[in-house]
């Protein structure tokens, strides 16, 4: 998925850096002829293309380290992408405007002619964009897998997926894995931090997974209702969970 997104962004970046493909730029492609006339189209394309190129590089880094993703890589690449978006918005609304013979920015005169409603809509649109970006960042970078074990059952609660209860008497076998092929998600959620839901791989077929992407060890449980795999934030915490679970039998 990340490789595919990187390729798409890279192709778009090449097209835009060539000064072409302005119809791909949201906002500009729907603007009136008068507003479009205020922009240096080639400069606008190259600015957006450069920003897309930076995003493509970040996605390439994440794709390369996907199986060994660390919190540092996640924080760095995500931070660069969001900074890239903000810088792109600023540049598109400053240096990309044309200037008249006196050096006056045409875009500013056009902006001054906006009605109160247009200005209000522009501010609302910017706020919505910021809120969406913040919500996406929260989803991609936060969340936890909480596991509680008592005398009768194990309760698994993931931040963005439905909780699951497993009766200890239904667990037939428990195994600690230092590595495992997670396979692909068939139904659930995935972020830079968590993988939760229904997965499928060549070893188990369909199974349920609640895991942190930064931890490469797992506890595999064979139950009467299928395979369930979990882990915790670190290898030590995952090993402790395994030992606690085994101690209940």
What's the confidence (pLDDT) of residue 123? 64
Q: Which tokens hold the place of 41?
A: 């189209």
Distance CA 26, CA 35 (A): 14
**What is the reported pTM?**
0.62
Measuring CA to CA, which residue among 104, 14, 50, 66 is closest to residue 191?
Answer: 66
Distance CA 99, CA 88 (A): 20
Distance CA 66, CA 74 (A): 10
Residue whose token pair is 């609304």: 93
What's the confidence (pLDDT) of residue 107? 56
Q: Which tokens hold the place of 149?
A: 């074990």
| φ/ψ (deg, to 5) at 204 | -100, -20
Per-residue pLDDT of the chain (249 residues; tens, 9 = 90+): 667 788 988 999 999 999 888 888 877 778 778 778 888 889 989 999 999 999 889 888 887 876 666 667 777 887 888 888 888 888 887 888 887 666 666 655 555 555 556 556 666 666 776 677 667 767 777 789 999 999 899 999 999 899 999 999 999 999 999 999 999 889 888 887 899 999 999 999 999 999 998 899 999 999 999 999 999 999 999 999 999 998 876
Query: SS in 3 state form for the chain?
Result: CHHHHHHHHHHHHHHHHCCCCHHHCCCCCCCCHHHHCCECHHHHHHHHHHHHHHHHHHHHHHHHCHHHCCHHHHHHHHHHHHHHHHHHHHHHCCCCECECCCCCEHHHHHHHCCCHHHHHHHHHHHHHHHHHHHHHHHHHHCCCEEEEECCCEEEEEECCEEEEEEEHHHEEEEEEECCCCCCEEEEEEECCCEEEEEEEECCCEEEEEEEECCCCCEEEEEECCEEEEECCCCHHHHHHHHHHHHHCC
Distance CA 145, CA 99 (A): 55
């Amino acid at each position: 998925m990340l490789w595919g997104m990187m390729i798409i962004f890279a192709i778009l970046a090449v097209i835009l850096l060539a000064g072409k493909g302005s119809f791909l730029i949201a906002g500009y492609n729907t603007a009136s002829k008068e507003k479009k006339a205020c922009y240096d189209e080639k400069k606008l394309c190259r600015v957006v293309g450069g920003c897309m190129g930076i995003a493509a590089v970040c996605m390439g880094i994440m794709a390369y380290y996907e199986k060994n993703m660390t919190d540092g890589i996640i924080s760095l690449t995500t931070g660069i992408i969001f900074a890239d978006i903000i810088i792109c918005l600023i540049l598109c609304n400053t240096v990309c405007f044309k200037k008249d013979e006196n050096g006056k920015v045409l875009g500013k005169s056009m902006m001054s002619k906006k009605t109160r409603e247009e200005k209000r809509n522009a501010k609302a649109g910017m706020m919505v964009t910021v809120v969406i970006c913040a919500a996406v960042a929260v989803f991609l970078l936060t969340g936890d897998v909480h596991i509680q074990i008592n005398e009768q059952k194990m309760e698994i609660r993931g931040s963005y997926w439905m909780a699951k209860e497993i009766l200890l008497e239904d667990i037939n076998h428990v195994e600690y894995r230092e590595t495992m092929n997670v396979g692909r998600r068939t139904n659930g959620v995935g972020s830079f931090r968590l993988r939760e839901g229904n997965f499928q791989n060549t070893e188990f077929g369909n199974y349920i997974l609640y895991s942190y992407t930064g931890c490469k060890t797992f506890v595999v449980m064979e139950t009467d209702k299928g395979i369930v795999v979990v882990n915790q934030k670190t290898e030590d915490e995952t090993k402790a969970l395994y030992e606690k679970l085994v101690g209940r039998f």
